[in-house]
Amino acid sequence: MFGFETVELSRALTAMTLLFHAIFATLGVGVPVLVSIAELIGIKKKDPHYTLLARRWTRGYTITVAVGVVTGTAIGLQLSLVWPSFMQLAGNVIALPLFMETFAFFFEAIFLGIYLYTWDRFKKPIYHWLLSIPVVIGGTLSAFFITTVNSFMNTPQGFEMEDGRFTAVDPLAAMFNPATPTKVFHVISSSYLTAAAVLAGIAAFIILVKKGSLYHKKALKLTVMMTFLFAILTAVAGDLSAKFLAEYQPEKLAAGEWHFETEEGADLVVFGTLNENNEVENAIRIPNALSFLAHGDFNAEVEGLNETPEEERPPLWIHYMFDLMVSIGFYTLGISLLFLIFWKMKKWNEYNPLLLWGIVATGPLTMLAIEFGWIYAEVGRQPWILRGFMTVAEGATTSPYVFSMFILFAAVYLVLGMGCLITLRKIFKGKPAELELEHRYPQTAAASKEGDA
Amino acid sequence: MSYELIGISVLWLFLYGYLIVASVDFGAGFFAYYARMTKKDHLINQLISRYLSPVWEVTNVFFVFFFVGLVGFFPDMAYYFGQTLLIPGSIAIVLLAIRGSFYAFENYGSKDNSLYMFLYGATGLLIPASLSTALTISEGGYINETSEGVQLLFGKLLSSPYSWSVVFLAIVSVLYISAMFLTYYANRAGDKPALEILRKYALFWSSPTIIASLTTFIALSQQNMDHFQRAIELWWVFGISVAFFMIAVFLVYQGKYYGWAFIAVMIQFFIAFFGYGASHLPYLLYPYVTITSGVTNESMAIALVIVFIAGLLLLIPSLILLMRLFLFDADYVKGKK
């Protein structure tokens, strides 16, 4: 009984740390891409608006990166502190990507430091832009390596098990397991998407509330375009992920879809509720769509959850996580496309307040989708910590102090979250982009004022 | 050389790297706060922040590198340290979290917030103390393995003279290393008033450092006699370390060659640290884990060593670039860029 409670608390502690870290990690991977693109456009078009955009984004990014670094350190240590038996076993196989992740992180940290403090140090601005490349590479590689570890936990391979220890380890086979390609693709594309949507949301918000200038309009157009492109990539990645699940982790897909009986031409269940007999009610059913999602064929057979032994089934509430994630994805794709159509159609006004509010919403919504997606992916492999090899209960610590640590970390994350918001507000409050533009690039500022008028 | 020996050397090297860069950072936080309290902040805080701003993140990575590498090369350590260190480890995480993020909050957000500075200064002393717990328990005698799992014996840890002498040594060394570095940096910047203050700090913290080293050595003989014996056999190593300590203090006292003085400090700690590490072997955690029993399987160890070499080829040029831009660029150090 006591051990059971410790397991639940360990799960809660890890979940809290990861969900908090995910916010900053996602921005950490995605924002440098947007910064780098904006700076390059600024240099190519000789348009200081974009350069200023890159500068201001970077300034806010520094704060989120700081929280990302410290929460990342926390999760790195917590892995061993909260799941010692798991790390003792799996450490033999996942050490390589974990180690490489820190290299990528190191690389990024070094160049981020340089990038931040060399804005005006080079004669040719393109040299400074070049420094953003290692930051982008480092961030994306970090995501890549750490995602391979998570993939390994979903589809372990690259070892043999003898008397409870791993032997004949092949580190590369473990890294490039079946889950790796789709997971990595989905994680990276959705991080880029979320960063773009958050920045688009901010630009739209300022145009709505503070009227915004040419600077904000340029920011909005750039970020919405990026949101649209990354949303398409994410949708493709999501589709590939579903096909992967159908083949390698059918129980996760089946639980996410409330698909109990194995059948051909399976319907896709959207939202709805379950009654006591596990029958689906109040749902929208899209005929044969699940077969298509799982196998690319409307009449293909999809394995149902009943094929999985009862004690190995994930909880059924993850259905909502899956549906929310997908709905937000399509909403973001749709609204960004709508903006682009309004923009290209000369007669229509792309700054329609309704449309802009729709874009403002994509910022928080995509971040929520990231969280929902991770909850679906992680809870969907319950009860396993290493699917097929070790259950979560076997991996947890036996220390009786997990509850106190949970309270401690909850307080710390609360402080960090508040501190981050307060600091971001301080950085930008009372320092609008127009003033900074006038200060740094007086000529452009004068020209854009005429343009506005 | 066997791969487990390569592994532990690599890890030790990173821990040493962390010791140096983190000490500079931790001590600087304390001195910045102390200077604020004694109304001397206008003299040295500019200098400190010019050094810290571009490198604070890098400092953190040295540490992450060490513990990820340790778990990678020696997964058994994850089990023993993980089971026992939940509380001290979590406290260290919290302190690091407060420190890292509040540094960014203060530096990029609200300048001159006294509360942030206090937290930054205080955590700088508490982190070395909490991290040194891991080194302390590796001597054995503080943990208990039963069929229920492994537990840390808090009472023993808190009442042991050895554990307190390690904490004391960690704190005074941090202040000593940091003051020695900042003295060099101030000289480099041609900042006379800052140099005068920092030189005093450096000389002040040198004697507790050497005294703490000796008392820790003596306390070790009570905690782990075998380890103490092996250390005595390496007496000449520690002798060389003391010689470099004297060179460093002499140079700073003379007020010349601050760069050489800091290099002497680095050599002093390098030798002492490796001497300590060498005498610790073959045990990683006495008596549960030895370097051969706890090592990961061969294919993983080889992969880690290969990646490590490839990684260094990437990191060393980047670090040199970082140092050239912010440490050895005279104009930057003087605040002209």
Q: Where are the domains of chain B?
A: 3-334
Q: What pLDDT is stored for residue A324 in this prediction?
A: 93
The three-state secondary structure class of A318 is helix
List own/partner pairs for B213-222 with CB under 8 A and 24 or more apart: B213/B169, B213/B272, B215/B165, B215/B168, B215/B169, B216/B162, B216/B165, B216/B166, B216/B168, B216/B169, B219/B161, B219/B162, B219/B165, B219/B166, B220/B139, B220/B162, B222/B161, B222/B162
Report yes or no: A123 at the B interface, CB cutoff 8 Å.
no
Considering only the beta carbons, identify the residue of A78, A92, A102 that sits closest to B61: A102
Mean per-residue pLDDT, A387-401? 77
Considering only residues A165 and A368, tell me which one the structure prediction assigns the higher pLDDT.
A368
**Residue A84 neighbours by CB under 8 Å, 6+ apart:** A397, B78, B79, B80, B81, B82, B83
Residue A72: count other Cβ atoms within 10 Å of its Cβ.
Answer: 23
Helix (H) or strand (E) holding B290: strand B289-290
Q: What pLDDT is stored for residue A357 in this prediction?
A: 93
CA gap A285, A219 in Å, rounded = 40
CA gap A349, A24 in Å, rounded = 34
Q: What pLDDT is stored for residue A451 in this prediction?
A: 54
Residue B195: count other Cβ atoms within 10 Å of its Cβ.
Answer: 23
Considering only residues A273 and B112, tell me which one the structure prediction assigns the higher pLDDT.
A273
Which tokens is B240 given?
């060389």
CA gap A316, A409 in Å, rounded = 29
DSSP state for residue A310 in the 8-state scheme: G
Q: What is the pLDDT of residues A167-208, one digit of tens each?
A: 778 888 888 999 999 999 999 999 999 999 999 999 999 999
- Is the peptide bond between A156 and the residue preceding it cis, with omega within 30 degrees of 0? no
- CA proximity to A196, closest of A226, A151, A152, A157: A226
- CA proximity to B217, closest of B270, B282, B276, B159: B276
Residue B147: closest CA among chain A residues belongs to which residue?
Answer: A398
Residue pair A228/A337 in contact by the 8 Å Cβ criterion: yes
Q: What percent of chain A has pLDDT above 70?
A: 97
Q: What pLDDT is stored for residue B165 in this prediction?
A: 83
Which residue do the tokens 């860069």 mark? B21
Q: How far does CA A441 lie from the centroid of its chain?
A: 35
Chain A positions in Cβ-Cβ contact with residue B80 (cut-off 8 Å)? 84
CA gap B146, B28 in Å, rounded = 43
Q: Where residue A285 falls among pLDDT bands split at 50, 70, 90?
A: confident
Q: Where residue A1 falls among pLDDT bands split at 50, 70, 90?
A: very low
**Substitution target from B3, B14, B51, B71 for chain A, most A beta carbons within 10 A:** B71
The three-state secondary structure class of A121 is coil
pLDDT at A411 over 90: yes
Angle CA B334–B254–B330, to nearest 5: 15
Q: Where residue A275 falls among pLDDT bands split at 50, 70, 90?
A: confident
pLDDT at A443 over 70: yes
Residue A450: count other Cβ atoms within 10 Å of its Cβ.
Answer: 7
Q: What pLDDT is stored for residue A453 in this prediction?
A: 43
Q: If 0-12 CB within 10 Å is exposed, 13-18 middle and 19+ buried, where does residue A155 land? A: buried
Chain A positions in Cβ-Cβ contact with residue B311 (cut-off 8 Å)? 100, 103, 106
Q: If 0-12 CB within 10 Å is exposed, 13-18 middle and 19+ buried, where does residue B1 land? A: exposed
Which tokens is A451 given?
């343009």
Mean per-residue pLDDT, A277-305? 83
Residue A220: count other Cβ atoms within 10 Å of its Cβ.
Answer: 26
Put simply, the chain A residues between 32 and 91 with a CB less than 8 A from any chain B CB are 59, 62-63, 65-67, 69-74, 76-85, 87-91
Which tokens is A123 given?
């004669």
**Residue A451 neighbours by CB under 8 Å, 6+ apart:** A214
Mean per-residue pLDDT, A344-362? 86
**Residue A178 neighbours by CB under 8 Å, 6+ apart:** A151, A155, A157, A244, A247, A248
ipTM beyond cut 0.90: no
**Residue A335 neighbours by CB under 8 Å, 6+ apart:** A355, A358, A359, A361, A362
* Inter-CA distances, B335 with A55, A228, B47, Å: 21, 43, 8
Mean per-residue pLDDT, A330-337? 94
Considering only residues A453 and B114, tell me which one the structure prediction assigns the higher pLDDT.
B114
Which residue do the tokens 């840890």 mark? B157
Q: What pLDDT is stored for residue A229 in this prediction?
A: 96
The three-state secondary structure class of B149 is strand
Considering only the beta carbons, identify the residue of A71, A78, A95 that sits closest to B296: A95
The two beta strands, B283-285 and B289-290, are antiparallel
Q: What pLDDT is stored for residue A132 in this prediction?
A: 92
Residue pair A196/A227 in contact by the 8 Å Cβ criterion: yes
Contact criterion met (CB < 8 Å) for A87 and B79: yes
pLDDT at A326 over 50: yes
Scored b (16 or more CB within 10 A) or e, B66-103 reads bbbbbbbbbbbbbbbbbbbbbbbbbbbbbbbbbbbbbb
Q: Where residue A221 falls among pLDDT bands split at 50, 70, 90?
A: very high
Put simply, the chain B residues between 140 and 169 with a CB less than 8 A from any chain A CB are 148-151
Chain B positions in Cβ-Cβ contact with residue A409 (cut-off 8 Å)? 90, 94
Which tokens is B291 given?
């370097």
Which residue do the tokens 């390098």 mark? B270
Q: What pLDDT is stored for residue A198 in this prediction?
A: 96
Q: How far does CA B176 lie from the centroid of its chain?
A: 12
Which residue do the tokens 């990684």 mark? B311
Question: Whole-angstrom distance between the N-terminal and C-terminal Cα of chain A?
Answer: 72
Q: Where residue A361 falls among pLDDT bands split at 50, 70, 90?
A: very high
Report, as ranges of residue numbers, the positions in chain B whose pLDDT lies below 50.
Answer: none
Q: What pLDDT is stored for residue B111 in this prediction?
A: 60
pLDDT at A130 over 80: yes
Contact criterion met (CB < 8 Å) for B54 and A114: yes
Considering only residues A371 and B19, tell me which one the structure prediction assigns the higher pLDDT.
A371
Q: What pLDDT is stored for residue A370 in this prediction?
A: 95
CA gap A209, A134 in Å, rounded = 36
**Residue A213 neighbours by CB under 8 Å, 6+ apart:** A433, A434, A448, A452
Mean per-residue pLDDT, A416-423? 90
* Greatest C-alpha distance within chain B: 63
Contact criterion met (CB < 8 Å) for A408 and B90: yes
**Substitution target from A23, A56, A70 for chain B, most B beta carbons within 10 A:** A70
Considering only residues A238 and B136, tell me which one the structure prediction assigns the higher pLDDT.
A238
* Mean pLDDT (chain A, rounded): 87
pLDDT at A448 over 70: no
Q: What is the reported pTM?
A: 0.88
Q: What pLDDT is stored for residue A413 in this prediction?
A: 93
The structural domains of chain A, with segments of one domain joined by +, span 6-262+303-452
**Substitution target from B68, B289, B302, B325 for chain A, most A beta carbons within 10 A:** B68
